[in-house]
């Protein structure tokens, strides 16, 4: 996973796994644990992307940007 689009796809896939009516007992508990861990990591990724975006905005406001200066994570381009 290296773009916000990848993260989005992964989160929706996890939601589909949780929506599985056949999940019960230990399997459901494991999926819930997996979802909680994924949520924590996702929040960190989003916070990092927000920080990168704010830095780019600040630079654009005071210095200007050259074409292609947007962080790859925000552009959806895989490094």
How far apart, in whole angstroms, are the C-alpha atoms of residue 77 and residue 72?
Answer: 5
pLDDT score, position 36:
95
Tell me, what DSSP letter sits at residue 76? T
How far apart, in whole angstroms, are the C-alpha atoms of residue 6 and residue 14?
Answer: 12
3-class DSSP assignment, residue 50: helix
Per-residue model confidence as pLDDT tens digits over 42-61: 999 999 989 988 988 888 88
How far apart, in whole angstroms, are the C-alpha atoms of residue 14 and residue 22?
Answer: 15
pTM for the full model?
0.73
């Amino acid at each position: 996973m290296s773009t916000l689009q990848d993260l989005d796809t992964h989160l929706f896939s996890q939601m589909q796994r949780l929506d599985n009516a056949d999940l019960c007992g230990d399997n459901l508990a494991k999926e819930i644990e997996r979802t909680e861990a994924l949520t924590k990591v996702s929040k960190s990724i989003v916070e990092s992307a927000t920080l990168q975006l704010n830095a780019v905005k600040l630079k654009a406001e005071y210095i200007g940007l050259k074409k292609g200066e947007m962080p790859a994570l925000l552009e959806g381009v895989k490094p």
